[in-house]
Chains A and B, each alone.
Chain A
Amino acid sequence: QVQLQESGPGLVKPSETLSLTCAVSGSSISSGYYWGWIRQPPGKGLEWIGNIYHSGSTQYNPSLKSRVSISVDTSKNQFSLKLSSVMAADTAVYYCARRGLASAFDIWGQGTMVTVSS
């Protein structure tokens, strides 16, 4: 079955760039789906960050667009998130997910906690 696994540093300093990767297994990342990033700050709800297609076409949350970059590496079957100029408010569990059925996120990774702190 399709599985997603996030990886990356758990601690990032303020003003630096957060970088995470999502490895896709059980399916080709070029199989016709969008792949996305969603986050959840401690004690808060989910927030959509952005999506990417295997062609490299991207969709970003307008509130984060100036700081977000999502890329795809089809040779490694993975996609990545970069969030620049991070601040404490960017502390969250970051999930990667597949955008499948009718714009719903049907498969999710387990999530990875990222803390922004000096």
Chain B
Amino acid sequence: QSALTQPPSASGSPGQSVTISCTGTSSDVGGYNYVSWYQHHPGKAPKLMIYEVSKRPSGVPDRFSGSKSGNTASLTVSGLQAEDEADYYCSSYAGSNNYVFGTGTKVTVL
């Protein structure tokens, strides 16, 4: 299984929105509604931000939203804040008890 494709970087000014794409295939992203997104500040534990394509765990701000169309999932961060600067990874169930992560996107708050 190949890693899901994400843009290496994305950026926005405080208060703006940024959207990160996550492209897979019909065998993973397109085949299941089990796409999740993780925020990773280097040196810390990754944090689950979105699960099941668009659901937010308790405590995650509603500035974070997820969606999916075909083989591509997206994470949108609205009202960017300085603390949102981090690496973001998508992940998908890939069938047959397999899981695949994305290549990662570094979000910079300008």
Give the Cβ gap from A42 to chain B, nearest Cβ, in Å.
11
A110–B42 Cα distance when bound, in Å, is 11
How many A residues touch B, CB cutoff 8 Å? Answer: 23
- Distance between B106 CB and nearest chain A CB, rounded to angstroms: 11
Total count of chain B residues near the partner, CB < 8 A: 28
Assembly CA distance A63 to B38 (angstroms): 23
Q: Which of A45, A62, A106, A111 contacts B101 (CB 8 A)?
A: A45
Contact segment of B9-17, B70-78, B91-99: B91-99
Q: Name A57's closest neighbour in chain B (CB-CB).
A: B97
Residue-wise, chain B 11-40 has the 8 Å CB interface mask toward A (1 for contact) of: 000000000000000000000111010101
Tell me whether A108 and B47 are in contact (CB under 8 A).
yes
Q: What separation, in Å, do the CA atoms of A30 and B98 have in the docked complex?
A: 22
Q: Which residues on the B side are within 8 Å of A63 (C-beta)?
A: 1
Contact with A along B86-110 (1 / 0, CB 8 A): 0001010100011111111000000
Distance to closest chain A CB from B31 (angstroms): 12
Q: Is the CB of A101 within 8 A of B57?
A: yes
Nearest CB to that of B36 among chain A residues? A104
Report yes or no: B45 in contact with A102, Cβ–Cβ below 8 A.
Answer: no
Check A47–B57 contact: CB distance below 8 A: no
Given the known interface contacts A95-B45, A104-B51, A108-B47, the answer about A47 and B101 at a Cβ–Cβ threshold of 8 Å is yes
- Say yes or no for A85: interface residue by CB 8 A criterion: no
User: 12 A-B residue contacts at CB 8 Å?
Assistant: A45-B103, A46-B89, A46-B101, A48-B91, A51-B99, A63-B1, A95-B45, A101-B57, A103-B32, A104-B52, A105-B36, A105-B38
Which 7 residue pairs across A and B have the least CB separation, nearest first? A104-B51, A104-B36, A59-B97, A102-B52, A108-B45, A46-B101, A103-B34
The interface of chain A, by Cβ under 8 A from chain B, is 36, 38, 45-48, 51, 59, 61-63, 95, 97, 101-106, 108-111
